Structure 1
């Protein structure tokens, strides 16, 4: 019985700790102190600008980045954004 209640708790805590280590959106000035590690793009997002940042956060996390700086973002029916990744 204890095992069944511990597993959901562990899953919830790991989800919370994952969010604590998410990549941060940074300014160009903040990026000067960090090492670049590539770029990411997200597109086809038909939602609010906050959803673009969430998509960029997820893409940056998947690449193991500590931070990202948005280099372009535009809406042409759907949103598109490109960001530089940093270690």
Structure 2
């Protein structure tokens, strides 16, 4: 077992969270967006930073980001930074 500074998404999701890692990563980022810690227009951490933060593979991080894109919380395309979508009421 590896020791060190592995970051878990949230303490309350710790022990018995049966969601997959990409779902937990998306939930953590979603919480940051909804709380305003990641305000509209700001860039999300890079894939490299997210991989290190969550001890996850590139594919897992990409699946998490795709969930947030599907929910229209973030925007991004290949080769460009993923940013928090501007929240507008229509």
TM-score (normalizing by structure 2): 0.28
- TM (norm. structure 1) is 0.29
User: Which structure dedicates a bigger proportion of its chain to strand?
Assistant: 1
Decide which structure has the larger Cα Rg and report it: 1
